[in-house]
Amino acid sequence: MLEVSDVSVRYDGAIAALQDVSFAVREGGVVALLGPNGAGKTTLLKAVAGMLPFELGEVTEGRIRFESAELLGAHPAAIARRGIALVQDGRQCFRNLSIDDNLRAASFVHPKNAATRLDMVFGYFPFLGEMRQRQAGLLSGGQLQMLVIAMALMGSPRLLLLDEPSLGLSPVMVQAVFDVVERMHRDLGMTVVVAEQTVPRLLKIATDVYVLSRGGVAMHAAPAEVDEAALQRVYLS
Ligand SMILES: Nc1ncnc2c1ncn2[C@@H]1O[C@H](COP(=O)(O)OP(=O)(O)OP(=O)(O)O)[C@@H](O)[C@H]1O
Ligand SMILES: [Mg+2]
């Protein structure tokens, strides 16, 4: 479904963030993208979603294809319309707007049938429906994480990219976030890539694991082959 081939990325013409990274996502898979701070996880997700030019980042080599179409050079909105949603780290939304308005704004990708999708989203996240007039900025970290995933769903993505959804959440909330990701994958057949540092819960649902280190792929393995010791070897190298 997604094929990143020999991609290198530089920021500001100088800082090499990725070097010859190849990364493939099969339709229907759940890919865990692991690696320590600064490994390049966010950069890789932003390269796929077309977000790098906004940060003086540039793909200097390689190609990125989604369902055989080249994504390099495409505008993020065009990439979103093709069916890719990136939920960035930092839980970005319009904090001074209501939950309802945030979800409606997020439907710009596919404005048709927004009302039907809103119902579906409230099915996955009932609390959002119960407090739909609440200002987004008043939500807890876990609730905000759910909101930004729900906003991505409003665009009917076929490939969902999640950047560190568990950051700063309590273990119970982390469990809840991954439960909902698992359900969306199972019920909607959505293909998912999740970038995290280490999350045992993620390895339970993953079909494929990539570990990045210093801008390169240090390991590509089946989840059963990835244990704490293997990760520590990469993280400490
Ligand atoms: N906007 C930017 N401008 C310049 N350098 C950047 C920028 N964003 C990231 N980098 C650099 O690129 C490298 C990869 O960073 P990236 O954010 O992709 O790592 P990460 O694996 O997502 O880390 P973390 O787990 O901390 O989120 C780092 O050396 C970082 O300092
Ligand atoms: Mg990151």
Pocket test of ligand 1: the residue of 33, 43, 58, 167 to mutate, having most ligand atoms within 8 Å of its CB, is 43
Q: Is residue 23 part of a domain?
A: no
With a 6 A CB cut-off, is 16 part of the ligand 1 pocket? no
Nearest ligand, CA of residue 17?
Answer: 1
Residue 198 has pLDDT above 80, yes or no: no
Q: Which of 8, 22, 104 is nearest to 61 (CA)?
A: 8
Q: Note the pLDDT of residue 231.
A: 83
Q: What is the Cα–Cα distance from 8 to 41, expressed in whole angstroms?
A: 13
Going edge to edge, which strands form the sheet with 57-66?
15-25, 2-11, 57-66, 69-70
Domain assignment present for residue 68? The answer is no
Closest CA to 153 of 177, 128, 194, 117: 117
Task: State pLDDT tens for residues 57-113.
Answer: 999 999 999 998 999 999 999 999 999 999 999 999 999 999 999 999 999 888 888
Q: CA 25 to CA 47: how far, in whole Å?
A: 15
Cα(186)–Cα(163) distance, integer angstroms: 20
DSSP bridge pairs for 194: 32, 162
Ligand 1 atom at shortest distance from the alpha carbon of 9: 12
Q: 163: CA distance to ligand 2 center in Å?
A: 7
Percent of the chain scoring above 90 in pLDDT? 78
Reported pTM:
0.95
Find the DSSP H helices in the chain.
Answer: 41-49, 76-82, 99-106, 114-124, 126-130, 141-153, 171-188, 200-205, 228-236
Nearest to 223 by CA among 199, 207, 201: 207
Q: Are 160 and 190 in contact (CB under 8 A)?
A: yes
Instruction: Answer whether residue 237 is part of any domain.
Output: no
Assess if residue 110 is contained within a domain: yes
- CB of 17 closer than 6 A to ligand 1? yes
Other beta carbons within 10 angstroms of residue 143's beta carbon come to: 18
Mean pLDDT of 14-41: 95
Q: Is 68 in the pocket of ligand 1 (CB under 6 A)?
A: no
| Residue 84 lies inside a defined structural domain of this protein | no
Question: Taking residues 191-205, what's their average pLDDT?
Answer: 89
Question: In the predicted model, what is the mean pLDDT of residues 135-162?
Answer: 95
Residue span of the structural domain in which 129 resides:
94-155
Residue 129 has pLDDT above 90, yes or no: yes
Task: Give a yes or no: residue 48 inside a domain.
Answer: no
Note whether residue 114 is domain-resident: yes
For residue 82, is it within any domain? Answer: no
233: pLDDT confidence band, cut at 50, 70 and 90? confident
> Which of 185, 110, 191 lies closest to 151, judged by CA?
110
